[in-house]
Chains A and B, each alone.
Chain A
Amino acid sequence: MSDIERLNSMLPNSLSVEESREKGILTLSVGPQHPGSGHFRLIIKVDGDIIVDAEPDPGYVHRGEEKMCEYRNFMQNIPHLERPVIADSCSILYPYCLAIEELLNIEAPRRAKFIRVIMSEINKMIFELYWLGIYGIFLGHSTMFMWPMADRELLIDLAELASGARVTHAYFVPGGVRNDLPDIFKDRAVRQLKYFRNRLNEYSKVFYENPLFIDRTKGVGILSREDAINLGVTGPVLRGSNVPYDIRKVEPYDVYDELNFDVKYMKDGDCFARAYVPYLEMYESVDLILQALEKMPDGPVRAKLPPNPKGKVGEVFKRVEAGRGELAYYVISDGTQKPYRVKLSVPSFRAIPAMRKLLIGARLADMPAIYWGLNYWPVEADR
């Protein structure tokens, strides 16, 4: 059986038009304009309150990133490659830089590796807070929008201090990072992260012990361990389904093997677990940044490169752990200044089969919680 057939056999069959007419089934089109995150459509068939069929319709933000990569050189690709997920812009550039470094046969200096870890963890937290805030909108909990948004600004300030831009940093380049951290960065980061950790303790009381949040997420959209593995979800969704799998541990890149951290996971596989895993990971990220700041050596932050470097002939596959899961790049070079083919494998796109699986049989009111709980970021999925 091919992969596609296996995937199809796991998903329920969709209903034909005649069948749905007979059974009195109503078809709803949710999106692309809806009160949550837009740019995505779900075609939902409901029988009373129960969803009998759900068809995700992505592609509203398809901007042809992969094609554009082919007519820009290695360095020119940096700004547009971080646009698919500007909330997590360092993590999406990270595997690209790793791949190009291998093609150009250079290595980032040791200080740059630590700075990359710091920035990618900060960005991961920025993404997770934004995600949590929008989850609040989906569940009708305004405090849950306001608090993470306010704390996110602190971390954005940190990232801005290092890179000069609020969200689109273009900070990682093949061969290191664009510029060194300013002198005040360390003090500022330590102070703000300590404050942020105290805030995180309050989050638990206000959000995760909140009856509203618990009622709407506990036991909703349960994804079993087998399904999670077979449907190919990654990141917090996979770890929420009792699979402690993290690229940072499985295939350490840069200096992750020198830093101590745990892979956080939950056993239940419901929406609550999927929302709780990022929360636990934020603690880990804070720890990781503090450790990296301690261990960071002095030195250069960027390897010397000729102006228009040529890659060696060959192909590379690199992956990292982003805020939403495993993010991979597959780059083929034919020995010129431009990549021959760049393939982005993004975690959001892999949530789509699971989305259909979870939505079928769920109640209509649970749809927002399931949809946003899967860590689906439409712009990234469409690329």
Chain B
Amino acid sequence: MKNQSPTNFNIWVGKLKEAIVKTIEPPIGYAINWGRIWSLWPVHLETACCSLEFGAASGPRYDVERFGIIEAFGSLRQCDLMVIQGTVTRKMAPRVRMIYDQMPDPKYVIAMGACAITGGLYFDSYNVLPGIDSIVPVDVYVPGCPPRPETLIQGCILLQEKIKYTKFR
């Protein structure tokens, strides 16, 4: 064809790519999100007393493992979930960020406990951050002081729900 300019060709290729992505995105995205939902590995980062209920949640009575959250014994490099278990102090905050930066993408954060959300009981303490939003982006907030293991499990299920409807990148 005579009027086949490079611009037209590029537009055509772009449209083709869009069409391909549109057709294969739903199944592949669904498959990948499904994989992510059922294999959330939390980092073992304990910041304060909420870690106790986190331990209880992975214990035999509550057993978060049945929801696809695996116990937190793994290495940082294979984790994709960070559960901030309570108060983050000024000494801990840089470390929390450092750990978050070392995790591979995609990564999710659950803020567990009143302290992680707003500072909780320690809102007027000189050494406590008023919430962790200022250092890491939070996906799910789990209120309570400490949250009961059931609440934590509900938070995890909410996170899975969220992952399910996120667009695959």
Measured CB to CB, the residues of A under 8 A from B are 32-35, 37-39, 59-64, 67-68, 71, 79-80, 83-87, 130, 133-134, 137, 145-146, 149-150, 152-153, 166-168, 379
Contact = CB atoms under 8 A, between A and B. Distances in A.
A33 B60 contact: no
Contacts of B32: none
B35 interface: no
B49 A149 contact: no
A63 B127 contact: yes
A80 B44 contact: no
A133 B59 contact: yes
Interface of B: 43-49, 51-53, 55-56, 59-61, 73, 76, 87, 89, 91-92, 95, 99, 121-122, 124-128, 145-146, 148
B43 A33 contact: yes
B55 A133 contact: yes
Given A60-B47, A167-B146, 4 more contacts: A32-B45, A60-B89, A83-B49, A150-B59
A167 B147 CA distance: 10
17 contacts: A32-B45, A33-B76, A35-B44, A37-B46, A37-B51, A38-B45, A39-B47, A39-B92, A59-B91, A64-B122, A64-B128, A80-B121, A80-B122, A86-B49, A87-B52, A133-B55, A149-B55
Is chain A's binding surface mostly helix, strand, loop or mixed? helix
B126 A60 contact: no
A302 to B, nearest CB: 23
Contacts of A37: 46, 51
Contacts of A80: 121-122
A284 to B, nearest CB: 24
B125 A64 contact: yes
Contacts of B128: 63-64
A303 to B, nearest CB: 26
A279 to B, nearest CB: 19
Contacts of B92: 32, 39, 60-61
Given A79-B121, A168-B146, A39 B56 contact: no
A72 B95 CA distance: 31
A32 B148 CA distance: 25
